[in-house]
Amino acid sequence: MTRRRIPVPDTLADSTLADLKRRHFLRQCSTGLGAMFLGTLAHPLLGAGKTPAHGGRLDFSRPASSPLSPLAPQFTPRARRVIYVHMAGAPSNLELFDYKPELARQDGKDCPQSFLEGKSFAFISGVPKMLGPQYPFAQAGQSGAWMSDQVPHLTRHVDKMCFVRSMRTDQFNHSPAQLAVQTGSARLGHPSIGSWVTYGLGTENQNLPGFVVLKSGQNSPDAGKPLWGSGFLPSVYQGVECRSAGEPILYLRNPGDVSRDQRRAMLDVLDRMNQRTASEYGDPETLTRIAQYEMAFRMQTEAAQVLDISREPAHVLAAYGATPGDGSFASNCLIARRLVENDVRFVQLYHWGWDSHGAAAAEALNLGFKDLCRETDQPVAALLADLDQRGLLDDTLVVWGGEFGRTPMRENRGGQEMRYVGRDHNPNAFTIWMAGGGVKAGTSYGETDEMGYEVVKDPVQIRDLHATMLYLLGFDHHRLNFPFQGLDQKLTGVEHAKVVAGLVA
Amino acid sequence: MSRDGAEAWSVKRYLLVVLLATLAALGTVAWARPSMFTSIVVVAGLGYHRESALPDSFYSVRVAPILEEQCAGCHGPRLQRARLRLDTLGDVKLGGKNGAVVKAGHPQESELFTRLLLPKSDKRAMPAGNKPPLSPDEIKVIELWIASGASGRTAVAAIAGAPPPPPAPIVIANFDAEAVARARAPLKDALESLSARYPGAIAYLSRDSADLSVDAQRLGAAFTDANLAELAPLAAAVTRLDLSNTAVTDGATATLAAFERLETLRLNETKVGDELLSATANLRNLQSLTVIGTRVTPDRVAQLRQKGLRVHDARD
């Protein structure tokens, strides 16, 4: 009979585990459990009756059957709904809204070393050349803001707009930067602004989603669906993607041989089964699923009507430059107006293609960029005018922006002069603008240096922009929160965020 | 005797030398390290007058907030880098271990100003470390203050050419739930029964307010003048009223006049005309009126616009 060999662990972790005898385990376990128990006690004992630094908890609970029912904001809001126009790919502020005459004088000269030290770029290598603004600028409106000749329609509404020229981000690649702008975090798993807003305010029209997403351009934004995901919030708050070409919402319509009554009967059976699952497992996501089926059933009639822009008179279609069913940004802008008119809380538009590196004609500042301006300038301008005429701009917040800015240096991929003109990514400075709902119209906030490379006055972090948006919607950003993983999670994260007083009318 | 006299003389001489040496040392300190001299004077209790600023002076209104936000982290109550504090006017005038930082009337000779202009690569540049530089406006404010004599008494208006002040920071007050409940109490019962009758149409404007928003839009043609009249008990609390797409007519004029605190009124796609708008004479807080797709005449719209009302009729 051979004695059993004691196995020799091959890693340190294994040996630690092997050394842990049963008695040790139990002893450590009991203190561990004790500490955990005290941890659970500590909160009510120490925290009881104490108001947290930012006031008591706001109640966002709703009946499971109506997770989107409206809730009042914390204080009287300036904006009741939002249209966020995200220009995916990061449009060049230096060719649109941030006029830099000194950069024009430096055009073609070597970039100063101070611009390159300690910086990392996506593509620029060696010593690039400075690149002057590619289009002429002129002052416009009462406010005298400098506007490029690529946005002639928008220029007429310059006195409705509030420019933030001093936006900064800490991400210089598209996906994380888009996530940062849209969810407040560069990592996956956080709710988008639209999700936070529908969680906080619900929506008045229960026959439409509270948060609608419309995409245009050749591609989806780089970070994809997580941009309008609900993260750790219940999934009922995620954005619902609608289309302006073909079926407005995929899989919403009944198949040809299924009547509305049959659909109802089917949903009733499904509802009973789901209710049983819900009571058995208690997973709130089951209740979310039931609510979503019911919303889809109600949407079948109303959504189709609201999303159908062929009902608009010809002069409105012409003003936007929209053709029903073309899936264009123009159509999406018109749909956005129809949606907010029907009390949709948050409309998110994406238009892809602004990544003007200059590596191909489509992404050249002197070619593709012009097309993008032509596709988007008139519709956004028409949207502002239309909202204004309908009295909706008073309490609708419109936000336009990309995920970062672009360098004042010409991109020189691989150290070579490229065939087309382009700029690399610049997270240190970019411009966004807002209009409507409580923003200071006809103003500019913040400044960049003479080259438009760095912010020199009143920097605005993305979390500051988010805090300001939530303020306009009637929330202290600390108090629009959701407990998850032991933290009261917020759109603005844990770093200090401030409401930018200079943007609020 | 002479020996005693010589002794007394030598003690006197000794004291004189000590006195002269002390004065010379103090003089040197006063010349080279004014702040240390001031400290010595203060410690010796020799009645040094600490300068303080008037609350409405240029210093208090414009300069102090900048120093507080940009400098006091390292030069304040918590840390005193270079033995310098910048959180009160007295401290600013006192200077640090390298002497005074302000020479009244001469910004170019005042380190409080000149150090702000140094390039980031200079290790004497302020603010130090990773802190971003002061904005051009902030630097200008400090320069103007020193140039004007660095006083705590000069009024804000007395210093010309200062850039406009930044807007006051937004402070969101915590609301008092009990006070809100008290404000809501008088209409609580009426609101409950009417909310049950018109579900989803009536809501508080916010959690900290007793004002109401009424949105009858989704009730559509089922909502008539009679229904609006039923809301009369709540009328004085409503600040936002949306009757778009309803069957409301000019017959509701008297009812509407009771909604005297209205700020926003929307009447799109209804059969109302100029008559209903006569009720707006009673709505003193009204700011925004929307009458798209109604019988309201352009003349009436023009008239109301002249009174300063924002009227939206989608015809312009």
Q: What digits encode the pLDDT tens for the residues B120-132?
A: 888 889 998 878 7
On whether any CB of chain B is under 8 Å from the CB of A459, the answer is yes
Closest of B153, B121, B141, B173 to residue B66, by C-alpha: B141
Query: What's the whole-model pTM score?
Result: 0.82
Using CA atoms, how far residue B2 sits from A407, B7, B16, in Å, is 92, 8, 20
The span from the CA of A331 to the CA of A317, in Å, is: 8
Cβ atoms A429, A93 nearer than 8 A: yes
The shortest CB-CB distance from B167 to any of A204, A476, A502 is to A502
**Facing A457 at nearest CB: one of B135, B266, B289:** B135
CB–CB of A204 and B266 under 8 A?
no
pLDDT confidence band for B48 (50 / 70 / 90): low
Contact B206 A459 (CB under 8 A): no
Q: What is the model's pLDDT at position A82?
A: 98
A54 vs B contacts (CB less than 8 Å) = 174
Interface check A450 vs B, CB under 8 A: no
| A504/B170 CB distance under 8 A | yes
DSSP-derived letter for residue A251 is: T
Test the A interface: residue of B69, B170, B285 with most A CBs within 10 Å: B170
Question: Is the CB of A389 inside 8 Å of chain B's CB atoms?
Answer: yes
Q: Does B65 touch chain A (CB under 8 A)?
A: no
pLDDT given at position A31? 60
Residue with tokens 């006091």: B72
Dihedral sign from CA coordinates of B64, B65, B71, B76: positive
User: Do A199 and A233 form a contact (C-beta atoms < 8 A)?
Assistant: yes
Say which of A76, A389, A501 has its CB closest to residue B209.
A76
Cα distances from A497 to residues A54, A149, A471, A493, in angstroms, run: 13, 35, 12, 8
Q: Which residue has the higher pLDDT, A32 or B151?
A: B151
A240-242 and A211-216: which strand pairing?
parallel
Say yes or no for a CB contact (<8 Å) between B207 and A74: yes
Identify which of B206, B217, B312 has the shortest CB distance to residue A76.
Answer: B206
pLDDT tens-digit series, residues B226-250: 999 999 999 999 999 999 999 999 9
DSSP secondary structure of A260-317: HHHHHHHHHHHHHHHHHHHHHH--HHHHHHHHHHHHHHHHHHHHHHHT-GGGS-HHHH
Interface of A with B in 465-494 (CB under 8 A): 471, 474, 476
Q: What pLDDT shows up at residue A47?
A: 40
A476 contacts in B (CB within 8 Å)?
172
Contacts of A72 in chain B (CB under 8 A): 203-207
pLDDT of residue A387: 96
Judge: A55–B175 Cβ closer than 8 Å, yes or no: yes
Number of neighbouring beta carbons within 10 Å of residue B5 = 9
Token pair listed for B300:
């009436």
Separation in Å, CA of B167 to nearest CA in chain A: 6
Residue with tokens 């009318």: A505
Interface test mutation site (partner B, options A57, A65, A68, A75, max chain B beta carbons within 10 A): A75
Q: What's residue A66's pLDDT?
A: 85
Neighbours of B80 (CB within 10 A): 16
Residue type at A350 in one-letter notation: Y
Q: Do A499 and B170 touch (CB under 8 A)?
A: yes
Stated as kind and residue range, the H or E segment containing A104 is: helix A101-106
B203 to A70: CB separation less than 8 angstroms, yes or no: yes
Percentage of residues of chain B with pLDDT beyond 70: 93
B193 touching A (Cβ < 8 Å): no
CB B101 within 8 A of CB B95: yes
Give the mean pLDDT of B258-279: 94
pLDDT at A483: 92
Kindly list the distances between the CA atom of residue B87 and the CA atoms of A19, B65, B66, in Å, as whole numbers in the listed order: 58, 9, 10
- Paired tokens of A500: 């930018």
pLDDT at A482: 94
For chain B, the average pLDDT equals 89
Contact B207 A58 (CB under 8 A): yes
pLDDT for res B300: 94
**Can you tell me the distance from the alpha carbon of B95 to that of B113, in angstroms, rounded to the nearest whole number?**
13
Which pLDDT value is given to residue A9?
Answer: 47
Q: Do the chains contact at A499 and B215, CB–CB below 8 Å? A: no
Characterize the bridge pairing of strands A396-401 and A430-436: antiparallel
Reported as a single tens digit per residue, the pLDDT across A255-299 is: 888 999 999 999 999 999 999 998 998 887 888 888 888 888 988
Q: Taking CB atoms and an 8 Å cutoff, what residues of chain B touch A469?
A: none
- What is the pLDDT averaged over residues B103-107? 93
Give the count of beta carbons closer than 10 Å to the beta carbon of residue A287.
Answer: 20
Residues of chain A with pLDDT under 50: 1, 9, 11-13, 15, 41-53
Q: What CA–CA distances, in Å, run from A135 to A96, A104, A146, A360, A448?
A: 8, 10, 12, 19, 19
Which chain B residues have a beta carbon less than 8 Å from that of A457?
135-137
- Chain segment B54-87, per-residue pLDDT in tens: 889 999 999 999 999 899 989 998 888 988 999 9
Helix (H) / strand (E) element for A499: namely: none
**Partner B contacted by A75 (CB < 8 A):** yes
Q: Which of residues 2-31 of B touch A (CB under 8 A)?
A: none
Judged by CB atoms closer than 8 Å, whether chains meet at A343 and B218 is answered as yes
A-chain residues within 8 Å CB-CB of B286?
none
| 0.90 surpassed by complex ipTM | no
Quote the pLDDT of residue B123. 87
B264 has a chain A CB within 8 A of its CB: yes
| A358 SS3 class | coil
Output the pLDDT for position A152: 97
B175–chain A Cβ distance below 8 A for any pair:
yes
How many CB pairs lie under 8 A apart between chains A and B? Answer: 91
Q: Which B positions 271-290 lie with beta carbon below 8 A of chain A?
A: 288-290
A74, A312, A470, A492: best mutation site toward chain B, by most B Cβ within 10 Å?
Answer: A74
HSE on the CB side for B168, CA within 13 Å?
A: 4
Predicted pLDDT of residue A310: 92
Tokens of A88: 């995916």
Ramachandran class of B245: left when φ > 0, alpha when ψ lies in -120 to 50, beta otherwise: left
From chain B, pick out residues whose CB is under 8 angstroms from the CB of A458: 135, 166
pLDDT score, position A44: 40
- Could B169 and A457 be called an inter-chain contact, meaning their C-beta atoms sit closer than 8 Å? no
User: Nearest CA to A93 among A174, A141, A165?
Assistant: A165
Could you write out the DSSP letters of every residue in chain B?
A: -HHHHHHHHHHHHHHHHHHHHHHHHHHHHHHH-HHHHHHHHHHTT---------TTBHIIIIIHHHHHHHTTTTBSSS-BGGG---SSHHHHHH-BTTB-S--TT-GGG-HHHHHHHS-TTSTT-SS-TTPPPPPHHHHHHHHHHHHTT--SS-BGGGSTTPPPPPPPPP--PPP-HHHHHHHHGGGHHHHHHHHHHSTTTEEESSTT---EEEE-GGGGGG--HHHHHHTGGGGGGEEEEE-TTS---GGGHHHHHT-TT-SEEE-TTSS--HHHHGGGGG-TT--EEE-TTSS--HHHHHHHHHTT-EEE-S--
One-letter amino acid for residue B12 of the chain: K
Nearest chain A alpha carbon to B314: A389
Cβ atoms < 10 Å from Cβ of A111: 22
Question: What are the structure tokens assigned to A364, written together?
Answer: 């050249």
The DSSP-derived string for A178-207 is HHHHHHS-SSTT---HHHHHHHHH--S-TT
Look at residue A38 in the predicted model and tell me its pLDDT: 54
Which of B206, B213, B269, B304 is the best substitution to test chain A (most A C-beta atoms within 10 A)?
A: B206
C-alpha–C-alpha distance, residues A410 and B160, integer Å: 42
- Chain A residue with CA closest to B171: the answer is A499
Tell me what pLDDT residue A36 has: 55
pLDDT at A46 (0 to 100)? 42
Contacts of A474 in chain B (CB under 8 A): 206
The nearest alpha carbon in chain B to A505 belongs to B167
Q: What 3 state SS string does A115-128 have?
A: HCCCCCCCCCCCCC
Nearest Cα of chain A lies from the Cα of B268 at a distance, in angstroms, of 9
Angle CA A326–A330–A336, to nearest 5: 105
Which chain A residues have a beta carbon less than 8 Å from that of B310? 391, 394
* pLDDT of B31 higher than 80: no
**Amino acid letter at A136?**
P
How many Å apart are CA A314 and CA A264, to the nearest integer?
A: 37
Contact residues, chain B, for A395 at CB < 8 Å: 264
Decide if B174 and A55 are in contact by the 8 Å CB cutoff. yes
By CA distance, what is B208's nearest residue in A?
A: A75
pLDDT for the residue numbered A296: 87
